[in-house]
Amino acid sequence: MKTIEDIQERELIRECVFKTARSGGKGGQNVNKVETKVELWFDIQNSYGLSDDEKALLLKKLANKLDKEGNLHLQEQSDRTQLKNKELLKEKFYKLILSGLKVAKPRKATKVSKAVKARRLENKRVKSELKQSRKKIL
């Protein structure tokens, strides 16, 4: 199973483009003066650190996070410092790539057991008797 360390070893972060901007929220005058918001762009299709299968899997799983050009776009502005926001963004990026590369196990079809069927039918019978007992006798 892959871990964040495995993803970090591939050095995918070198292929990312970082940009900063002024962010809103807490900070008072600091918000108006300092560019603390950090944005990350990662081009999955042209990445050298991913195989073709991994690229296809990421493009499929992260489709709702991709822009029109097929780039992964993330941003972070929760902290007051640019450095902390960049570290948080890198962590978010690694977790997202890791979750995107996780392959789901195929579901094994199972049969409903006889005990479960019997329990369901017994509950139905009890409910039915309860409702029948509420009826007016003519």
Q: Which tens digit of pLDDT belongs to each residue from 7-25?
A: 767 778 888 888 888 876 6
Decide if 119 is inside a domain. Answer: no
- Residue 101 C-beta-side C-alpha neighbours within 13 Å: 20
Between 53 and 32, where is the model more confident? 53
Distance of alpha carbon 76 from alpha carbon 86, whole angstroms: 7
Mean pLDDT of 23-30: 66
Decide if 34 is inside a domain. Answer: yes
Share of the chain above pLDDT 70, in %: 91
Mean pLDDT of the chain: 85
List, for residues 97-106, the tens digit of each pLDDT value. Answer: 888 888 888 9
Distance of alpha carbon 66 from alpha carbon 48, whole angstroms: 18
Decide if 12 is inside a domain. Answer: yes
pLDDT of 30: 66
Number of H helices, E strands in the chain: 5, 3
Between 138 and 36, where is the model more confident? 36
- Residue 119 C-beta-side C-alpha neighbours within 13 Å: 5
Decide if 132 is inside a domain. Answer: no
Mean pLDDT of 84-93: 91
For residue 97, give the CATH number of its domain.
3.30.160.20
Decide if 113 is inside a domain. Answer: no
95: Cβ contacts below 8 Å, ≥ 6 apart: 4
pLDDT of 79: 82
Distance of alpha carbon 83 from alpha carbon 74, whole angstroms: 16
Decide if 17 is inside a domain. Answer: yes
Q: Which residue has tokens 């560019």? A: 35
Count of the separate structural domains present in the chain: 1
pLDDT of 120: 97
Q: Is the pLDDT of residue 42 over 80?
A: yes
List, for residues 45-70, the tens digit of each pLDDT value. Answer: 888 888 889 889 888 988 888 888 88
Q: Which of 64, 71, 63 is nearest to 40 (CA)?
A: 71
User: Domain of 62?
Assistant: 4-101
Decide if 123 is inside a domain. Answer: no
Q: Which residue has tokens 């963004």? A: 89
Decide if 23 is inside a domain. Answer: yes
Mean pLDDT of 90-110: 89
